[in-house]
Amino acid sequence: MSKAKRDTRVIATYNIKGGVGKTSAAVNLAYLAAKAGHPTLLWDLDPQAASTFLFRVRPKVEGGGRGLLRKRSRTAQHIKATDHENLELLPADFSYRHLDLALDQFKKPAGRLRKVLAPLRADYDYIFLDCPPSISLVSEAVFEASDALLVPVIPATLSSRAYEQLEELSRSGKVGRRGRTSILAFFSMANVSKQLHLQVMERLRKIDQLTVLGAAIPTADEVEMMGEERNPVPVFAPDGTAAVAYAALWAEIEQRLHSAPAGS
């Protein structure tokens, strides 16, 4: 594909809450995209560096987050190949904890990440942003930069409220580029043997304004094993329930993304 014509989609895994499966989703979905032959980049924006750890890469970016934001022409120099074909990583750095402050120094902070990503679009079909759990200037910049926000929701009351809050923000035009950023929720750590999970899933699916994807990621040992294996689930448990669920989720996301025009 010609560099100028690449139809890149930027996908952020985001939730205000932590521990809901953002990193697992980012790592597994990015892996599946790459495995299907799409040049894919994952930017680990979380200073906790979980994605970076899972790909066995040292969480270090020379010049830190501030350097990345200021010298956007040099972003590509910090990218590392993962062990998987077509999948590259822009690692986390501990300095990302001050990314809000670094962004605030720009005239239009919310648009800065989008500008940093612009030159990378020529090289990748998909760019995943694994975001830290917060609502902050970084989140705003992520919303602005993304074609889709992928929101893992644990089907329990408190977690689902966080998603409803995000949906409210979206409806009031405060998420993304004037409504051009799709918000796609999916159930994460779902346990269908729990009555509560089933009730919450049913309730959220009935809210018209919310886009809840059909595929759900179950609670599964394989997902927890990722920390030990330091690999995406399909690499070490390709036939397990989690791998099958991530594949179904990715198929659905890809279909939805390509029914909407990409940002530029």
Partner 1 sequence: MNERGELVTTQAPLEALRRALAGAYQASAHGREAVELRDDLEKLVCRVTVMSVPGGSNWLTVTALRGYEQDADRIRRLLRKHGFQSEDQWKSATVTMSGGERSDAVVARVLLRLQEIQDANLPGALAGTHVEFLHDFRVAIRRTRSVLREMRGVFIAEDLQEVRADFKWLQDQTSAARDLDVYLEDLEQLRSLAPEPMRADLAPLQPLLEERRRRARLAMSAALTGERARTLHGEWRGILHGLILEPENLRPDASRPIAELAGGRIRRVHDQMVRMGSAIDQGSAPEAYHELRKKGKELRYLLELFGAHLFDPELVKPLVSTLKLLQDVLGLHQDREVQAQMLRELAQELIGLAGGAQALMAIGTLVDRLEADSLAARGRFSSSFAQFSSAEQRRLVTDGFR
Q: How far is the CB of 141 from partner 1 (least distance, A)?
A: 24
CA dist 231 → 40, 94, 215, 223, 238 (Å):
16, 22, 22, 10, 11
CB closer to partner 1 out of 83 and 224:
83
Residue 62 lies near partner 1 (rule: CB under 8 A): no
The reply on whether position 88 binds partner 1 by CB under 8 A is yes
Among 18, 37, 71, 83, binds partner 1 (CB under 8 A): 83
Is the separation of the CB atoms in 114 and 82 below 8 Å? no
State whether the Cα torsion 22-23-26-27 is positive or negative.
Answer: negative
Among 79, 118, 169, 244, binds partner 1 (CB under 8 A): 79
Say whether residue 60 binds partner 1 (CB under 8 A): no
By C-beta, is 15 or 52 nearer to partner 1? 52
Which stretch in 56-64, 109-117, 166-174, 236-244 sits in contact with partner 1 by CB under 8 A?
56-64
When the beta carbons of 79 and 122 are compared against partner 1, the nearer one is 79
Shorter beta-carbon distance to partner 1: residue 55 or 163: 55
43 vs 55, beta carbon nearer partner 1: 55
Of 28, 22, 109, the residue nearest 65 (C-alpha): 109
Count CB-CB contacts under 10 A for residue 14: 28
Q: Does 78 bind partner 1 (CB under 8 A)?
A: yes
State the nearest-atom distance from the C-beta of 124 to partner 1, in Å. 13
Burial of 147 (0-12, 13-18, 19+ CB in 10 A): buried
Q: What are phi and psi of 152, to 5 degrees?
A: -75, 135
Residue from the set 37, 81, 196, 261 that interacts with partner 1 by CB under 8 A: 81
Which lies closer to partner 1 via its Cβ, residue 100 or residue 123? 123
In 3D space, the residue among 108, 74, 87 whose CA is nearest the CA of residue 44 turns out to be 87
Determine phi and psi for 16, rounding to 5 degrees: -60, -35
Pairing assessment for the beta strands 87-90 and 80-81 based on DSSP bridges: antiparallel
For partner 1, the binding residues (CB under 8 A) are 55-58, 78-81, 83, 88, 230
